Structure 1
Amino acid sequence: MAYDTASTYETIELFGLTERDAQLPIPNDDVLEDAIVRETFEAMLGQLRGTGLEAEIEPLAHGLATILQRRKVNLTRELDRTADKIKALAKSHDGSEISETALEDAQEKFIQIRDVTAALGVMSEKAAECYEQETGHAFIPASGSRASARARETGAVFEAKLLLEQHDRETADSCKIQGVPLIVSGATDWTDVDTIFRYLDRVRDRIKQNRNQEIFLCHKGGKGAELIAASWARARGIHQAKFDPRWKAHGRAAPFKCNDEMLDDKFAAAGVVLFGGNGVALNLGQKAEDKGITVMRIADPAGTSKPKSKS
């Protein structure tokens, strides 16, 4: 049974093969350029040389190169739309699990489209090169410019784009979180405000002295110790990142998943401070020490919650 391209895509979509968990790796540039594009040109056009169809080599080669160019352009537009969606979702984020999931999905889609667009860019440039080698003519797409539309820009358009780019950079800089992450967790029944403020002040000063950097606070937004720590961050003008447990997605494991997210290597946490703690906080401390991250454990002066020391 034969399938056309459209029905093949529909079949893949129907059986869920486009889910991100089933995403396959993208071939490296050498494979894209040589084993895919160059060999495709050779397989399609090589047998036409010296035949009555030799005159068709040029339009067929041009058509193949144009298909890849147009697909790259379409993906670039989709990438821009996804970037705009991420900006809108980040701006309207209300802390709910629905908002969090939508933002994460948009970011994953952006990364996927970005990687595919880059691969198509490599393929389209190789196709243009193959066309030029095959025909001896420079490749010019049927519509638009091969490299960029900037060659046709007026001075006013160019200045307008520079202005927008400057605005985007300034907006990004104002939203950027400076410093190193400090993770805080602890007992939900902790009530001693002074102790948390005092120890966090000390840790902040120590990191400033050793690294010459400000910290930003990472926590799960829980009650007790984490709520007091969040108040400390606001009082000191410290940025903070709240890692919400995704109960619907992870069930009872949600707080432990949050621990893993905060300890992810991409954040490079400066340390962990535990004010008392329950099983979740102790799990955080254990995982942090396993990663070689410094953990400070502070006992509750009231004696209502005491963390267990690592033996």
Structure 2
Amino acid sequence: MLDKSATVYDQIELFGLTETDDDLPIPNDDELRTDLMQRTFDALFEGMTGTGLHREIEPIAHGLASLIFRRRNAIQKQLSDTSDSLRGLIRAADGSEVLETQMDELQRKADRFSDLLDALDIMAETAAQCYEQQTGAAFLPAANGRTSRLAHLTGTVFEAHKWLEAHEREQAAQFEIEGTPLAIAGDRDWMDHEYVWATLDKIRGRFKETFATELILYHKADKKGVDAIAAAWARNRKVPQVTFQPNWRAFGNSAGFKAIDQMLDTPKPLGGVVIFGKTGIALNLADKAERKGIKAMRVDLPAKPKS
């Protein structure tokens, strides 16, 4: 009998529906992206759009994507635990047949978990992208953050301090980014996703015409508002990002302004600045950029049509 107090996810794990020990093949990457995830989300949105369930699309889509991330995190923990056990057996190896058998079994489990993790990575990030493409909103799982290994490959995200250190050391080739930076800032309560996406699309086109390079997005990695919307845009457009996260512990209330200063002082000269709204930090970015001779574009929230 099902435990009525358990979640759907708990019931799935209880009956082993998400983990098997058989040798059935895992679908290839294209099948995982297209046949499983994209078609699932397309069917969800198409079937509910224009019906009385329209308002439920976003929370259901978010919950589905979050569930895949949750399962991905569970498999990662199982892989980590299995790997730790395997390392322990290797250290204790005495040549006995029992230990050899145990090591072989753990190795097979670790290989299986690794394959599952690769597949769920693709499914989780594809689900997040489908959510962002359909809603225009940045996707963050309900718990534990967006920790898929592929999250930084589609619209690569570089933490600014690591990127800057790599430039200073003239090494770490993985942190080299080709392109021209655009620094952005804006309101945390900005909700018009389509307007931000459309504006960034136009600016990206101008950057390619003017600089003949891809745009690199600089932002403060805020989880709400303009930063989050722009980050979702960059991931879906496969535009590289550099995040300048404010160090609140070190700089207190001035941390956001310190992050702005970092944006303006990177090794790559800024190709421009765009601010959405009129927050103090956004206006500060525009003012400082213009004093350095960098063009700053100010975008106000579109006026609502009069009824």
Instruction: Give the alignment's TM-score, normalised by structure 2.
Output: 0.43
Specify which structure has the higher proportion of helix: 1
Instruction: Give the alignment's TM-score, normalised by structure 1.
Output: 0.43
